Amino acid sequence: IQPKSVTYKMQGDFGYLRLSGFNEKATDETLAAINALRAKDPQMKGLVLDLRNNPGGLLDQAIGVASLFLNGGEVVSQRGRDPQDIERYDAKGHDVLNGMPLVVLINSGTASASEIVSGALQDRHRAAIVGVTSFGKGSVQTVIELGGGLDGALKLTTARYYTPSGRSIQKTGIQPDLEVAETRD
C-alpha cells in the first residue's frame, strides 16, 4: 500500500496542502488536492503549501509541482564542474491558481526536491517562504556500478542544483522570506 503524499483541508478562506514527499504521484495528487479545495470553496483566497520535513524525492515531480504555480520559465538548473555543463529545467503548463496568494512553509527538514520547489517559487516571486532555513541538500549523485554491480556501487556527486537566480542549494539551503521558528509547549 502506497500512502498518499498529499493531505489538504480548508482553514477559513485559505487552502492548506501538505506535501510529505515527491513520489511518482506527487504532481497529480497536488493538482487533485488543489482542485478539491477550489471545489469546496470557489472563493478560496490563497493557499498554504506545507513542505516542512519533506525529504524530497524525484526531480521530475519537483519540476511538475513547481509547474503548477508558475507560467513557464526556469525551475532549477543542474551544473557540473565544467561551466558549459548546465542543464536547465523549465516549468511546463501554467499557474493553476492564476496568481492567487501562495505561502510555502519550510524548516530544517525541508530538503532536496522540496528545496527546488521552494527556491523556484521564491526566486520567481510567486510565493512567500515562511519558516526556518532548509536543510541544504542540493547535490546530484550518480551511481556507478563496480564490477557490473557484483562489487557494489559508488555514489559520486557529479553536479549541484541551483535556483533560477543562480543560488546554490547545497549546504546553504533556502532562506525564508519570513523567519518563524516552531515552538513546543
Quick check: 126 and 102 in contact, CB under 8 A? Answer: yes
Quick count: other Cβ atoms within 10 Å of Cβ 7?
A: 14
Kindly state the DSSP code that residue 93 receives in the 8-state scheme: S
Set of cell numbers at residue 1: 500500500
Q: Residue 31 carries which side chain, given as an amino acid letter?
A: L
Residue 123: active-site member: yes
Quick check: 106 and 176 in contact, CB under 8 A? Answer: yes
Of the residues 5, 20, 112, 134, only one is catalytic, namely 112
Quick check: 53 and 43 in contact, CB under 8 A? Answer: no
Q: How far is CA 139 from CA 78, 153, 169, in A?
A: 9, 18, 8
Q: Count, in order, helices (H) and strands (E) of the chain.
A: 3, 10
Quick check: 78 and 112 in contact, CB under 8 A? Answer: no
Q: Using CB atoms within 10 Å of the CB of residue 140, give its burial: 0 to 12 exposed, 13 to 18 middle, 19+ buried.
A: middle
Residue 112: active-site member: yes
Q: Which residues are catalytic?
A: 112, 123, 137
